[in-house]
Amino acid sequence: MSNNPLSSTIEHVEELELEVRRSVAELNKIPYSKVRHNLAIAGGNYEKGLLAIKSILRELVERGRAVVALPASRSRNLTLHEVLRKHWSITVKRCYSTAESFRASFDLESQGGIPWELYYLLIDIFDQFGFSEPFVFREADQFMNETSKETIVEVLDPLVKPLQEPIPSTVESKSASKTTVPDVIPANTISYIAGEARNPLLWPVLVHEGFHVLDKRLGLFDQMEKSLVHPHRLPNLDKAKGADINRRWSREIFQDIAAAHYFGPLYSFSLLKYFERLPYLQTIEHPEMSVRLYSVNKYLEEQHGATISNSDILTRALGFCRPILREEISKYVTAGELTDDTTRELDMFYQGVTSWIRSQEIILFEARLNQYLVESDRAREMVLTTTIDKVPYVDPAFKFEEVVDMVCNFGVYPAFHPTLLLNIVLSVSDQYTPQGFQERYVDCMKKWCVKEAWNQAISSPRKS
C-alpha cells in the first residue's frame, strides 16, 4: 500500500476536476454566448470546490502523520491508514461523495435536456431588474432554486471543520489550517424536473423560480412589503400557524402573482397543470394549492374585458384560461377550502402586489404585446425610409389563429418573444399535443434569439 492511503482518492478527485474542465471546454458547442458564459462560471465554481476537496484530503493525511509521530505515551501505535480510518473516515467519505456530486451536478447543468433558448426567458427578466449574476438550469426531481453559496460553500463548510479542531491526542491544534472554503463567484441554479424538460406546458413555471432567485438576491418581497399601505398587508391565511409561516406563504403567493403579470394568462394554466401532474402538499414554505390558484386567477379576472388594439392574442389566451381556472376555483369554494375570509385576505394582498409590480420598470405581458405591435408597424415604415441593412428584424403583426396555423399546421416559425409564443400555442394545447410540438416552439425561440441579436447589432453605434 502507498505511504499515502488517500492517494487513490486524491487522484480520483483530480480526474473529476479534469472532466469538469473538459466539459467547460466543450461549451463552445452551445450557440449562445450568455448561456456559455453562465455555464463556464458554474464549471469554474465546481473546479474550485474540487480543488478544496483535494486540499482537505491532503491536509487530513498530514494530520494523520502528526498523530503517528506522537510519542507512544500519548498515542497508541497506529498506522497512518488506521489513524485516518479511526478519526476521519466520515470526512473522507463525505469528501468523496461531495466530489462526485459536484461533477454530476455540472453534467446535469451542461448536458441537460432543457432547450438552451429557455435561458432567455429568464435572462430577459433578470436584465430588466438589473440583475447580472449568472444562473444555470439543472435537471432534478423538482422545481427549486439555489445559490452557489448553498450548493458549494455550505457543502464544503462541514468538510473543512475537522481541520480546525485539535489534532487527536493533543490539546492544541497544529498550525492554522491551510485549507479554507473557496470564494466562489455568486451564481444561481434553477432546477427543473428532468422528465418535464421537453414539456412546454410546464415551462412557465421556470418564471416562478426566476422570481424566487430575484427575491433571494434582491429582496423583492421585502421591497413589496414595505410598499404596502393600509389596508393592504400580508394575508393571514391560517391564524393557528403563526406569523412566520403565514409570511412564508405570502412570499410564495407573491412569486405566483409576479410570474402571472410577467408571463401572461397561460402561467395560471401551467401552474394548474403542474399541480395536477405532481403530488402537491401544503408545507411551511408552500400554502394550499387552492390559495395559489385563486391568486393567479385574480390576474385573469383583472384582465377580463381588456383589449389591445389590432390584436386578439390576449383575448384568446384569456378565453382559454378563464373557464378552466374558474371551474377549478369553484370546486375549492364548494368544498369549503376557500372561505370568504380567505378570499378577502387574498384579494387585499393581490391588490398590493399588483400595485408594486406595476410600479417596477419592467415589461409585463400586456406591455410586451403592445411593444410587439408597435415594433411591427415601425419595421414596415422603415423598409420604405432606410437602407435594408438597418431594418429591424420584425415579423408583421400576426393574429392568434395565424400564429397557430403557421406553427402547428404549416411548420413556419415566427420570431416571437417566448412569452407571447407560449401564450398562443399553449392555448390550443387541447388540440395539439405540446410535447409533440415542442421542437417547433424551440425553433420559434431560436429565430427570436437571432432577431434580438440582429436588432441589437443595428442599434449599436458602428465603429469607424
DSSP string, 43-102: HHHHHHHHHHHHHHHHHHHHHHHHHHTS-TTTS----HHHHHHHHHHHHHHHHHHHHHHH
Kindly report the pTM of this predicted structure.
0.92
User: Do residues 206 and 122 make contact, with C-beta atoms less than 8 angstroms apart?
Assistant: yes
Tell me, what's the pLDDT at 244? Answer: 96
Tell me, what's the pLDDT at 384? Answer: 64
Q: Which three cell numbers stand for residue 185?
A: 463567484
Find the helix or strand (DSSP H, E) in which 227 lies.
Answer: helix 220-227
User: Do residues 208 and 187 make contact, with C-beta atoms less than 8 angstroms apart?
Assistant: no
Tell me, what's the pLDDT at 169? Answer: 73
- List Cα–Cα distances, 233 to 14, 172, 226, 267, 347, in angstroms: 53, 54, 9, 24, 11
| Sign of torsion over alpha carbons 315, 319, 324, 330 | positive
Tell me, what's the pLDDT at 135? Answer: 98
Per-residue pLDDT of the chain (464 residues; tens, 9 = 90+): 468 999 999 999 999 999 999 999 999 999 999 999 999 999 999 999 999 999 999 999 999 999 898 887 565 688 999 999 999 999 999 999 999 999 999 999 999 789 999 999 999 999 999 999 999 999 999 999 999 999 999 999 999 999 988 888 775 545 556 778 999 999 999 999 998 999 999 999 999 999 999 999 999 999 999 999 988 999 999 989 999 999 999 999 999 999 999 999 999 999 999 999 888 889 999 999 999 999 999 999 999 878 788 899 999 999 999 999 999 999 999 999 999 999 999 999 999 999 999 999 999 999 999 999 988 877 666 656 666 555 556 677 889 999 999 999 999 999 889 999 999 999 998 888 887 899 999 999 999 998 888 877 777 665 54
Tell me, what's the pLDDT at 464? Answer: 47
Pairing between β-strand 188-193 and β-strand 144-147 as defined by DSSP bridges? antiparallel
Beta partners for residue 135, in sequence order: 188
User: Do residues 177 and 159 make contact, with C-beta atoms less than 8 angstroms apart?
Assistant: no
Q: How many beta carbons lie within 10 A of that of residue 391, not counting itself?
A: 19
Residue type for position 311: S
Q: Which three cell numbers stand for residue 53?
A: 476537496
Tell me, what's the pLDDT at 461? Answer: 60
Q: Which residue has the cell 493533543?
A: 170
Burial of 190-228, coded b for 16+ CB within 10 Å and e otherwise, reads: bbbbbebbbbbbbbbbbbbbbbbbbbebeebbeebbeeb
What is the rounded CA–CA span in Å between residue 375 and residue 369?
Answer: 10
Q: How many beta carbons lie within 10 A of that of residue 141, not counting itself?
A: 11
